[in-house]
Amino acid sequence: MVTANTISGRKSRVPQRAHARTMRRVSTDTERKFWYLVRDRRLGGHKFKRQFLIGRYIVDFVCLESSLIVELDGGQHADQTSYDTTRDAFLKARGFRVLRFWNTEFLTNQDGVLETLLCQLEAPPHPDPLPQQGERG
């Protein structure tokens, strides 16, 4: 059943969806190269989506079947570690694993990055850690 909250939530995401579409059209060189290598199930048969909206965040690449997000970070991320930490916690709380690679790391070692990614895609998901003594689950 569609409620007023559902409609309101959809309307509030319209600007985010438009921004994600723009980001797909105007991607960086690194993102275009990565996308070429993983699109159309080219990496071990795993399907990726790019500039995908999860909650209030747009992730660079995601394999929904494996709940794995890949972020390709430029130099600006060195100055926004607090934001990235908060964002990663939000995504992990929703069951996603987040892999971050620096643009230069991907451009200079594509095979190594793809091998790491493929290992993560084919590994079984890790169970949530047990609460530490004194913490509530």
At residue 49, the 3 state secondary structure works out as strand
More confident residue, 21 or 120: 120
- pLDDT tens profile 54-106: 998 999 999 999 999 999 988 665 567 889 999 999 999 999 999 999 999 99
As assigned by CATH, the class of the 34-122 domain is alpha beta
Residue 137: its pLDDT value, please? 43
- What are 116-127's pLDDT values in tens digits? 999 999 987 665
CB 48 within 8 A of CB 62: yes
Each residue's pLDDT tens digit, 41-66: 999 999 999 999 999 899 999 999 99
Which residue type occupies 60? D
Q: Is residue 16 within a helix (H) or strand (E), and if so which, with residue range? A: helix 4-25
Which segments of the chain are extended strands (E)?
Answer: 49-54, 57-63, 68-73, 97-102
pTM score: 0.75
